[in-house]
Amino acid sequence: MTKTFLRGAVLAASLALAALPAFAAQPFNAAYQADYMGMKATGRMAIESAGNGQWRYTLEIRNQLADLVQTTVFDEADGVLRPLSGSDSNKLLIKKSNKKATYDWSRGVATWSGDVKPDRAGPIKLQKGDLDALLVNIAIARDAVAGKPLRYRLVENGKARDLTYSIAGKENVTVGGKSQQATKVVSTSGDKKVTLWVVPGVPVPVRIMQVNGGDTIDLRIAQ
């Protein structure tokens, strides 16, 4: 996640928890609080209609040092999430980066453009069920609650790799002013550890924490 993972007044959250089923394709908009680069930040996660049966999932994080926005346009059929396009824009002090992803399912390949190295431009051959990083968040929020296996193939930044997560117990969290029991999900690879908290009725994790060496990013839904 780092740059692909990831905005000081907190935005007002808009949650419709009871109305949200376990799959992703329903509107959602909530404010998040974040610790990023050792500083407080504000964030937002939103799922909104993009028309023609497509949906747009946006993740934003902003503070005095950084402005990060990641967006994925996707569709969903019979429980299968399918990325169609994506963008990853970040400004860190004076450095800027903009990347775009295209998932061409008619040709069965994914490609990347913008600020990408030639060996990360693709094409990468797509398989049914392939996800990008944002859609992994949605899939985990859905599958952990449903008790399904937490194994995914991530296709991003010119590479494809397998991800496996495990359940690490339950923990109480506050969502929309109410205490709820969250399922804690963990993945560890080398010195990188990603922990996500999910609750029934919320289509994205209510908290995501990544520890990568000495760097920590902690994003949690605003109370």
The most confident of the ranges 13-17, 65-69, 101-105, 172-176 is 101-105
Tracing tokens 């929309």 back to the chain, one arrives at 176
Domain span at 105? 2-221
User: What local confidence, expressed as pLDDT, does residue 223 receive?
Assistant: 65
Q: Which two tokens stand for residue 26?
A: 């329903």
Give this prediction's pTM. Answer: 0.85
Rounded Cα–Cα distance for residues 183 and 162 (Å): 22
Q: What are the residues facing 199 on neighbouring strands?
A: none
Res 18: pLDDT? 34
CA atoms within 13 A on the CB side of 27: 8
Helix (H, G, I), strand (E, B) or coil at 136: helix
Distance from the Cα of residue 98 to its chain's centroid: 17
| Local structure of 139: helix, strand or coil | helix
Would the pLDDT of 21 be above 70? no
